[in-house]
Structure 1
Amino acid sequence: MPAHRFSSSLSPDELKALFRGHPGGVAVITADAGDGPVALTATSVASVSAEPPLLIFSISAQSSASDVLSRAETVVVHLLDAHDIDIAKLGATGGIDRFAQSHRWSRLSSGEPVYRDVRAWVRCAVINRMDAGSSTVIAAHALQSHVERDVRAGEPGDALVYHNRTWHRLGEHSRLED
């Protein structure tokens, strides 16, 4: 529903303040629509269905990767842990070549750019795009995955989260209950 149909709405600053206190898992999304690879860091990745295996994420229209992601048929979503902080920062830094360090990445046999040695990645086919304000929500079907560092059920792992404009590591110290 268009925002103009509501009698009131939160301001952008109010929404940002609200979500600063809501941590998000960190992912880097890569794609290549034929003009060269792009990458961006996102905290909006979510699993939405196990059968079929679907996930969603959003990209801002202001992102330098938005044009390529609006045309790419496939993407690679890298699910990061604290060991991958350099990749997270790389995808979040504007105005740089995120693929200049050729030893950090390669291409899958299907052509998509993938960063090496990250906790896990999943290759996806884009199945839908939806305009959502100044962003685009992308739905993707998981096709192929690789897990470099697995987290066993119930174990704390070494998750990387973004909270209140800062990177954080989740681990045994942050567990509240068994």
Structure 2
Amino acid sequence: MTMVSQLDDAITPDANGDVSLSPDAFKAAFRNHAAGVALVTADPGDSPVAMTVSSLASISATPALLMFSASALSSSTPILDRCDTVVIHMLSAEQLWLAQLGATSGIDRFADTQAWSRLSTGEPVFHGAFAWLRGRVRQRLIAGASVVYIVEALEASPARQPADRDVPPLVYYNRTWHALGPASVIA
């Protein structure tokens, strides 16, 4: 069973009376922060779910821990909250269609049955992803209007061939999709 924690009480004025930055100013600051793009899938047993996230981050290699967050307002979050395991798909620029699929509201993300299948453990996995990790949700943390998921990685997709490692990753920057490539290297 995963633990649920809450940060809401920590978001209060400090001793100087300072309060949180306005949502618009906060969003404007993050528009200049590039982030990798991933697709998260899961299934509590009655309804598979997929959502695009740009909040994926590694936490620890030993044990293998990662985190991502999801808006509490997303229609996918209540379903994700019922799941013990998830699959995180790391996306390259060639998988923009998967990022768009997970980011589009009101569609059946699993309608194309040729695009995905189930792992032997039951989770849905999309075939087009550059790489994926299957993991167990170890903790959920309510943080403002979001839920932060701490996940222990249990399994990884088969290793890619060396030639495939040069595929440009998909990045979200200034509210648009981008691909990193050799021209973006500065040091």
TM-score between both structures, scaled by the size of structure 2: 0.89
Aligned pairs (5 A) from 1:49-60: 49-60=60-71
- Shift of the alpha carbon at 1:20? 0.4
The Cα offsets for residues 46-66 of structure 1, whole Å up to 9 and x where unpaired, read as 000000000000010111110
2:180 counterpart of 1:170: yes
The Cα offsets for residues 98-136 of structure 1, whole Å up to 9 and x where unpaired, read as 000110000000000000031000000000111100001
Q: Which residue of 1 aligns with 2:13?
A: 5
Residues in 2 aligned to 1:5 and 1:113: alpha-carbon distance in whole angstroms: 43
Name the SS of the counterpart of 1:176 in structure 2: coil
Residues in 2 aligned to 1:11 and 1:151: alpha-carbon distance in whole angstroms: 45
Relative contact order higher in (CA < 8 Å, ≥ 6 apart): 2
Q: Which residue of 2 aligns with 1:145?
A: 156
Aligned pairs (5 A) from 1:95-110: 95-110=106-121
Name the SS of the counterpart of 2:81 in structure 1: helix
Contact 2:171/2:177, CA 8 A, preserved across alignment: yes
> Which sections of structure 1, spanning at least 5 residues, go unmatched?
none
Q: Which residue of 2 aligns with 1:115?
A: 126
Q: Which residue of 2 aligns with 1:83?
A: 94
Q: Which residue of 1 aligns with 2:4?
A: none
- Shift of the alpha carbon at 1:68? 1.2
Contact 1:28/1:80, CA 8 A, preserved across alignment: yes
Q: Which amino acid aligns with 1:168?
A: H
Name the SS of the counterpart of 1:39 in structure 2: strand
Residues in 2 aligned to 1:13 and 1:151: alpha-carbon distance in whole angstroms: 43
Name the SS of the counterpart of 1:103 in structure 2: coil
Rate the CA distance shift 1:104–1:156 in 2: closer, same or farther, 3 A: closer
Aligned pairs (5 A) from 1:26-41: 26-41=37-52
Name the SS of the counterpart of 1:4 in structure 2: coil
> Which sections of structure 2, spanning at least 5 residues, go unmatched?
1-8
Name the SS of the counterpart of 2:79 in structure 1: helix
- Shift of the alpha carbon at 1:157? 4.0
Instruction: Output the aligned Cα RMSD.
Output: 1.6
Q: Which residue of 2 aligns with 1:42?
A: 53
The size of the alignment, in residue pairs, is 175
- Shift of the alpha carbon at 1:2? 2.8
Q: Which amino acid aligns with 2:13?
A: R
TM-score between both structures, scaled by the size of structure 1: 0.93
Contact 2:93/2:167, CA 8 A, preserved across alignment: no
- Shift of the alpha carbon at 1:147? 4.5
